[in-house]
Amino acid sequence: MNTTRDHRADACVAVEDTPINRVETALDEAVDLAHQTMSMVASIAGSVPADSRGGSVDRPDGIIPALADRADDTLSVIKDAKAQLIRLANLLGV
């Protein structure tokens, strides 16, 4: 039998598992992976000064435009990590 507590727990899972939340979770994981990659490369090959991109950036109103901006930011971090992996590969001659 489903108790009230179980029902609330099920409702919370359903709310947390929206398509937008799933995309945000994927973006968060991608950024985390990119940062871990850059950190490992820096440990092995030394660090390179990070680009300074200015102060805070205003986010657009609305879920979809804000999500698109987060995707752009995530893509930028992934490209940075990819560049660091290429640098490491060149250093190692692979």
Q: What is the pLDDT of residues 24-75, one digit of tens each?
A: 999 999 999 999 999 999 999 998 776 655 555 566 678 899 999 999 999 9
Element (H, E) at 8: helix 4-16
Structural domain span for residue 83? 18-47+56-92
Structural domain includes residue 10: no
Structural domain includes residue 82: yes
Structural domain includes residue 75: yes
Structural domain includes residue 84: yes
**pTM (predicted TM-score):** 0.68
Structural domain includes residue 1: no
Domains contained in the chain, number: 1
Structural domain includes residue 87: yes
Structural domain includes residue 4: no
User: For the purposes of burial, counting CB atoms within 10 Å of the CB of 84, is it exposed (0-12), middle (13-18) or buried (19 or more)?
Assistant: buried
Q: How many helices (H) and strands (E) does the chain have?
A: 3, 0
The rounded Cα 8 to chain-centroid distance in angstroms is: 29
